[in-house]
Amino acid sequence: MAEEETQLEEGPVPVLKWDQGLFEQITRGFRFPPEWDARYPRQGQTAADAPPGYITLFEDLFLKGNFRLPAMEFMAHTLHYYGFHISQMSPPDMVRVRHFEFLCRSHRIEPSVEKFQVFYQLIRNIGFYSFGNRGSAKKILLNPPKSFHD
pLDDT tens figures, 40-78: 888 777 777 888 888 778 787 777 767 777 777 898 899
The answer to the question of residue 92 being in a domain is yes
Evaluate whether 146 touches 90 at the Cβ level (below 8 Å).
no
CA distance 137 to 117: 10
Q: What is the pLDDT of residue 16?
A: 64
Q: What is the pLDDT of residue 149?
A: 57
The answer to the question of residue 127 being in a domain is yes
| pTM: predicted TM-score of the whole model, two decimal places | 0.59
The answer to the question of residue 2 being in a domain is no
The answer to the question of residue 16 being in a domain is no
- What is the number of alpha carbons within 13 Å of residue 96 lying toward its C-beta? 27
What is the greatest pairwise CA distance in the chain? Answer: 49
Helix (H) or strand (E) holding 24: helix 20-29
Q: Provide the domain limits for residue 75.
A: 57-133
The answer to the question of residue 139 being in a domain is no
The answer to the question of residue 103 being in a domain is yes
Q: How many domains does the chain have?
A: 1
The answer to the question of residue 98 being in a domain is yes
CA distance 13 to 21: 24
CA distance 23 to 58: 10
Q: What is the pLDDT of residue 8?
A: 43
Which positions of the chain have pLDDT values less than 70?
A: 1-17, 65, 136-150
The answer to the question of residue 138 being in a domain is no
Q: What is the pLDDT of residue 148?
A: 52
